[in-house]
Amino acid sequence: MVQYYPGMDSGFSALAAGTRRGILEHLGRGEVASVSDLAFAFGMTLTGMKKHVQVLENAGLITTQKLGRVRSCTLGPRRLDVEAAWIQGYRQMLEGRLDSLGEFLERTKGEST
């Protein structure tokens, strides 16, 4: 039975872009950064950075707060637990298949000589 977790797509989608992963790493160092600071740090236009920030915010990975004309970003409440569990399950499935292949090859190695 296939299990579907509604929020998982937004998490993986948010992580699909290297810039967004970089933003999370930047904010993960404990820094609060304005959208303008992030745009400068990543060599992007303000409009381009706003789009990345919006994707991350919609996924719950960052939060923003506007104070005057400055919008500041910090890490959000979401911790990607469901995505990490899915990746771990996928890794275990692959390792199980590779173990089965290894056992098959060991069994058949003696038969071919």
Look at residue 2 and tell me if it is in a domain.
Answer: no
Q: How many domains does the chain have?
A: 2
Look at residue 109 and tell me if it is in a domain.
Answer: yes
Domain of residue 42 covers 7-78
Per-residue pLDDT at 96 = 85
Look at residue 29 and tell me if it is in a domain.
Answer: yes
d(CA 13, CA 10): 5
Per-residue pLDDT of the chain (113 residues; tens, 9 = 90+): 556 676 788 999 999 999 999 999 999 998 799 999 999 999 999 999 999 999 999 999 999 999 999 999 999 988 888 888 888 998 998 888 887 888 888 888 877 65
Please tell me whether residues 107 and 52 are part of one structural domain: no
Strand order in the sheet with 33-34: 33-34, 70-75, 62-67
Per-residue pLDDT at 69 = 94
Look at residue 1 and tell me if it is in a domain.
Answer: no
